[in-house]
């Protein structure tokens, strides 16, 4: 019970225009053709409202103008923003996006990568968490935030520099004893460098620090527990905290409030990402802002780059600091 294929085909156009099939194809593909012929064909196309069937095209040309985008979900605002800009960049180059939400599920990620292969996509842009992900050598792959192999370009923020920047800012803001907090994947990925960058920055600036790295899946209450242990005589030991993401920063802020400490009065807080609720909403917290738009653009550029002999293994894009109410900037005081 297939629906009657009412869609006009190239043959129909040829018939209508009174020319040969090949001629129609040439007109469509911009191959030079006699002017009178071209006109007739164009009229016929318009008259029949003809559209090339990109599946037939793909079958023939091994190109489908489609790129798969793998991302855990689109509910997290950072992922959602990334998705948006990747979509935009693809569209600008006349490519379509196959959206694949993996929900952090390694098996699903692998399924998608395989599926996507049989779906003949021209490339894959992936933010994946499967440590053993097997990717087909033949389809261009660009990874976000995680180096999969030297052959696969990885685009990321300069996470190390971001961590360092956070430490420097806290130092500038007068902090002396600080903490780094996150719940993190045990997986080796770029965002993990935030901690190292932060600690390095602390050392450079003479800040004493402590780091809390919780295993993936740890409930958020662990933040509160940790902070509670660091109260001495009713005072919070830390006067500055750097969180792995804005999300954690929000949680930590809540934990502090619960314990009776004020932000940024008692403790100054810096997050990472730079997400907002709405485009014109304020930041959730003072934060290291990721250049989402540039990341998206670069991913698209690289995945569509055909013959680049040597692909760069890792590209780190510059981040910047932006105050968002959880730090005591000079202008605030």
Partner DNA sequence: TTGTATGCGTTATCAT
Partner DNA sequence: ATGATAACGCATACAA
Chain residues in the site for a copy of itself (CB under 8 A)? 1-3, 5-7, 51-56, 58-59, 61-64, 66, 69, 73-77, 80-81, 83-84, 87-88, 91, 96-101, 114-115, 117-120, 138, 220, 247, 250, 275, 277-281, 284, 306-307
- Distance from C-alpha of 50 to C-alpha of 271, rounded to nearest angstrom: 52
Nearer to a copy of itself, 81 or 164 (CB): 81
Print burial letters for 97-133: b (CB count within 10 Å at least 16), e (below 16): bbebbbeeeeebbbebbeebeeeebbbbbbbbbbeeb
Nearer to DNA, 12 or 168 (CB): 12
Distances (CA, A) of 267 to 177, 249, 262: 10, 12, 7
Instruction: Please check whether residue 272 is in contact with residue 252, taking contact to mean a CB–CB distance below 8 angstroms.
Output: no
- Distance from C-alpha of 286 to C-alpha of 264, rounded to nearest angstrom: 10
By CB under 7 A, is residue 113 in contact with DNA? no
Q: For 227, how many CA atoms within 13 A lie in the half-sphere containing its CB?
A: 29
By CB under 7 A, is residue 134 in contact with DNA? no
- Least spacing, CB of residue 234 vs a copy of itself, in Å: 28
Query: What is the widest separation between alpha-carbon atoms in the chain?
Result: 93
Instruction: Considering only residues 209 through 228, tell me which ones interact with DNA, judged by CB under 7 A.
Output: none
By CB under 7 A, is residue 206 in contact with DNA? no
Query: Looking at 31-186, which runs of residues are DSSP E strands?
Result: 66-71, 96-101, 123-126, 141-144, 154-157, 177-184
Compose the 51-90 pattern: x for residues touching DNA by CB under 7 A, - for all others. xxx--xx-xxx-----------------------------
- Least spacing, CB of residue 67 vs DNA, in Å: 19
Among a copy of itself, DNA, none, residue 149 binds (CB under 5-8 Å by kind): none
Residues in touch with DNA (CB under 7 A): 5, 7, 9-11, 19-23, 25-26, 28-29, 32-34, 36-37, 50-53, 56-57, 59-61
């Amino acid at each position: 019970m297939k629906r009657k294929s009412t869609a006009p085909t190239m043959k129909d156009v040829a018939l209508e225009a009174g020319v040969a099939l090949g001629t129609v194809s040439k007109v469509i593909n911009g191959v030079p053709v006699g002017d009178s012929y071209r006109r007739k064909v164009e009229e016929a196309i318009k008259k029949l409202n003809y559209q090339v069937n990109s599946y037939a095209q793909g079958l023939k040309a091994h190109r489908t103008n489609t790129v798969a985008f793998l991302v855990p979900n689109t509910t997290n605002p950072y992922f959602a923003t990334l998705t948006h800009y990747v979509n935009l960049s693809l569209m600008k180059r006349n490519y379509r996006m196959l959206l694949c939400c993996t929900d952090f599920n390694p098996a699903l990620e692998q399924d998608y990568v395989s599926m996507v292969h049989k779906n003949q996509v021209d490339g894959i842009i992936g933010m994946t968490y499967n440590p053993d992900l097997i990717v087909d050598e033949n389809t261009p792959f660009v990874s976000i935030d995680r180096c999969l192999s030297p052959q696969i370009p990885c685009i990321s923020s300069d996470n190390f520099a971001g961590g360092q920047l956070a430490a420097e800012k806290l130092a500038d803001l007068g902090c002396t004893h600080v903490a780094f907090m996150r719940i993190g994947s045990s997986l080796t990925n770029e965002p993990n460098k935030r901690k190292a960058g932060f600690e390095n920055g602390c050392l450079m600036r003479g800040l004493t620090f402590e780091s809390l790295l919780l295993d993936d899946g740890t409930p958020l209450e662990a933040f509160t527990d940790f902070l509670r242990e660091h109260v001495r005589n009713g005072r919070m030991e830390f006067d500055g905290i750097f969180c792995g993401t804005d999300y954690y920063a929000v949680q930590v802020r809540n934990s502090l409030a619960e314990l009776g400490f004020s932000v940024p009065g008692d403790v100054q807080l810096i997050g990472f990402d730079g997400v907002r609720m709405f485009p014109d909403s304020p930041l959730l917290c003072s934060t290291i802002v990721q250049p989402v738009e540039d990341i998206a653009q670069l991913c698209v550029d690289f995945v569509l780059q055909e013959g680049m002999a040597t692909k760069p293994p890792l590209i780190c894009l510059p981040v910047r600091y932006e105050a968002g109410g959880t730090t005591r900037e000079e202008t605030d005081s």
